[in-house]
Amino acid sequence: MNKLRERLLEIEPLSASRNEKLQQEIQAMFEPKMSRWEMWYWGASLAGSVVGAVSGVFIACFVPAEASVRTIWGVFGVINAMMAVFVLRGMRKGSMNLREQFALGKASVGVTLLIASLILINAIWRPSLENLAWGLFGVTWLVLAAAIAILNRVMAAAIDGREHSLRLEYRLAELMEKLGERR
């Protein structure tokens, strides 16, 4: 089926107007407009990211603590600042770019693994109930990041399937039009 699809798409290029319409529909699939509920959700996410960024940077810079603890809070603050910028940009546009969101979901697993590793290393070096609780917190966030990455991959596969189907529909519509003109 894959070879047939590729052959159909390569037979002749789409007309310019139809190709432009196809690209607009594909763009709309990857940047859907936000509903009111999504604006509230992303607004709360933005507020949380700003609080996390300010808290993390403040603790890393001004609170007297061990270097490992300050490093963890510094990384946490910087990541929250980057997330706040991403969310703010999406909210200003009124839509989130799903490709960027999926890429961030993949990267978040690695970053969360790094942070969880730092927390667990700290817990191993200085065993205490508090450090154990922080280790559990880090592992919980790692599992959450992995679950989000899996969900993003499933969503990306569904969108990819819709995109290929849409391309084929446009190709078939154009070929049917050309066959109708020849008769």
pLDDT digits (tens, 9 = 90+) for 139-153: 998 999 999 889 888
- Using DSSP, state whether 128 is helix, strand or coil: coil
Straight-line distance from the first to the last Cα atom of the chain, in angstroms, rounded to the nearest whole number: 29
Q: Could you tell me which residues come within 8 angstroms of residue 149 by beta carbon, excluding any fewer than 6 positions away?
A: 105, 106, 108, 109
User: Cα separation of 53 and 51, whole Å?
Assistant: 5
In this prediction, residue 174 carries a pLDDT of 75
Reply yes or no on whether the pLDDT at 15 is more than 70. Answer: no
pLDDT single digits (tens) 30-60 = 777 888 898 998 899 999 999 999 999 999 9
Give 33's strand partners: 95
Determine contact, residues 155/102, Cβ cutoff 8 Å: yes
Determine contact, residues 166/3, Cβ cutoff 8 Å: no
Query: How many Cβ atoms from other residues are within 10 Å of residue 3's Cβ?
Result: 7
